[in-house]
Structure 1
């Protein structure tokens, strides 16, 4: 397949990559490289495999059943108490989580923007409004309000490509030691690396992406014969996202900053070695990462809310616009007034920690059912691999819940 056909057949996969490469991923990968060099690159490979397996299942369910995961969850038969509990848990995790993280996406994009334009902070009777966050939030809202999946896909594909180029150039400028880089693909860790290892996987295997992709494949493909196109779409997108994450880690390993708390600190450290160009590349990458995630987070939340409540999931519908607008609005409120929604993020972390193993386990169960997927159900081997992936999500969930209560 030539490059032209590849782009013609691309689907919503880039939205998944856009969603998991946000400011949080940039920061986690940066700190992983800065603190441990290349030794955790193998963890990125593991996270890519886990994401590929789960996203392929969600896409297959979406195409074969013609329904998104939220609708399937609402319509599932069996114990009503479990169904209601699952619906409430999903709503809590996705709405709270995406509202909290939306503020981080907008603020992260503004940090990248600061490399090119330092947006002023306006003072209203002692209340400070960060203009950059406000403008970026409005831009995300307008892109969602257009009501066109095709427009969103084109914007996000362009941003993902530009973001990828920016981070890959920045990584190439560091001229990494190839032998040490290759050694990073060999699994090994020490106790100090475990929290960062869990964070690396956790920023890639994202619960709301499973809902997002299952819903959006129906906008692109309708027939079971399109399954190979879906698999190619998600494979290209997730692998590209993983390579970009590795590039960010490589950049982090080349820093000269004495104190590092974010990707911006690393880019400033790079300037002393490679000049301002590397810093500009990191700045643009962070801007693009923040903008892509600030679009996909409200979109995913809107699809989940409308799907579970039985409302119209068309992006132009009033329920979708209200749901997406509410998420963007909350994110903007937290970010442009400089509010840090710690309690909300803590609740979201707790809910997502519980949600990830439940949802991943549920879709793995669906994937093994002949009554639902027919000939497209998982084989015994595929189910075994998926269960191993589920065990990883279980560990991630326990770690997320444990960190909230101070167990770890």
Structure 2
């Protein structure tokens, strides 16, 4: 058991990053609106996530560089490199600053079904003190600057989150035959946007940067690559199980209007008892905390790699980046500010970034000068191209959605 636990690492942080309030909400709505019928779409999303994250981890272990360092090193043309760096930093920096408020607010939402009024008046301002507590907790873990502390903290929270969501799904006593039937692909026009939503919340651009940077904190030689690959597959599979459990729990709710995971928690109480409400609420709270930690961390790694900064988790520049992202998230969340224009920009930037980064990753994973015998196999390339086409579609949809809302 001790040996197994020692092999757990960066994959868990990736799971902690993509199982955030957004994923919980999308999976909840998928279950409420369509029952078990979209489990197949989520399963495909998890496979796509595994493929891309494995490439990212392999790149980090073999080259001992993060994705942003490799990105800047592969283009000699200064203009091309400047445009790419500007796009990556703006998308990740501004995008994560906007989404950090959502992460913290999601954690607050999880407790809103348990705590009635988490607000206090300070100098005429109404402040949600739970947002401040979540921000302070994230600050402490990140400021310690120890990868082991960061890893173990998130492993513990992800474990609690897994238990919360899976127990909630079991409590609803789903029809196993219908659950199995949900893994049979069946596309209908009214389900298309939800399918895209499930993929979009699972395959996250900043996770590709985060993973490549984190693996080299734990593994230093290509011989250790199998450990990184196993860690990736197991961790993302656990994340997939959590997402499926949320869909299953959502499918148990009939004839009740549910718009978020917090609504799901409340609606479970009269049917399955108060325990179900508390368990799911704590799961959503944990999802908010984990994403609130990983989003600033990923931003700092991206900026560090693009700017060529030296030093590790405790360097002043590195800390300044994640502190700024975390501070913005706490301020927006605690004051109830909804940075709609920033979030719209973030959607456009990430819509552009995801296919570009997926395409770059696929290209660089075939460079023998860089990776030697650790380049992609033919099957990996075929799957990668399919995923790339999906990300292009996802990116175009997110941009089009923002244009329509202008």
Q: Distance in 2 between matches of 1:125 and 1:318?
A: 32
Alignment of structure 1 residues 174-185 onto 2, 5 Å = 174-185=172-183
Matched, 1:93 2:84: no
Q: Report the Cα offset of residue 259 of structure 1.
A: 1.6
Instruction: Tell me the residue number matched to 1:112.
Output: 110
Q: Is the 8 A contact 1:156 1:292 kept in 2?
A: yes
1:376 to 362, 374, 377: 374
Instruction: Tell me the residue number matched to 2:269.
Output: 271
Alignment of structure 1 residues 60-99 onto 2, 5 Å = 60-99=58-97
Instruction: Tell me the residue number matched to 2:44.
Output: 46
Q: Distance in 2 between matches of 1:116 and 1:125?
A: 26
Instruction: Tell me the residue number matched to 1:253.
Output: 251
Instruction: Tell me the residue number matched to 1:357.
Output: 355
Relative distance call for 1:83 and 1:252 in structure 2 (3 A) is same
Moved more, 43-52 or 3-12: 3-12
Structure 1 residue runs without a partner (length 5+)? none
Moved more, 109-118 or 370-379: 109-118
Instruction: Tell me the residue number matched to 2:323.
Output: 325
CA-based RMSD: 1.4
Q: Distance in 1 between matches of 2:213 and 2:116?
A: 38
Q: Structure 1 length as normaliser, TM-score?
A: 0.97
Q: Structure 2 length as normaliser, TM-score?
A: 0.97
Relative distance call for 1:264 and 1:180 in structure 2 (3 A) is same
Instruction: Tell me the residue number matched to 1:205.
Output: 203
**Aligned with 2:202: secondary structure?**
coil
**Aligned with 2:192: secondary structure?**
helix
**Aligned with 1:406: secondary structure?**
helix
Q: Distance in 2 between matches of 1:284 and 1:313?
A: 36
Alignment of structure 1 residues 87-166 onto 2, 5 Å = 87-118=85-116, 120-166=118-164
Q: Distance in 2 between matches of 1:144 and 1:255?
A: 38
Q: Report the Cα offset of residue 327 of structure 1.
A: 0.3
Q: Report the Cα offset of residue 193 of structure 1.
A: 0.8
Q: Report the Cα offset of residue 326 of structure 1.
A: 0.3
Q: Report the Cα offset of residue 49 of structure 1.
A: 0.7
Q: Distance in 2 between matches of 1:24 and 1:169?
A: 20
Q: Distance in 1 between matches of 2:135 and 2:352?
A: 29
Moved more, 183-192 or 73-82: 73-82
Q: Report the Cα offset of residue 301 of structure 1.
A: 0.4
Q: Is the 8 A contact 2:204 2:354 kept in 1?
A: yes
1:399 to 377, 386, 397: 397
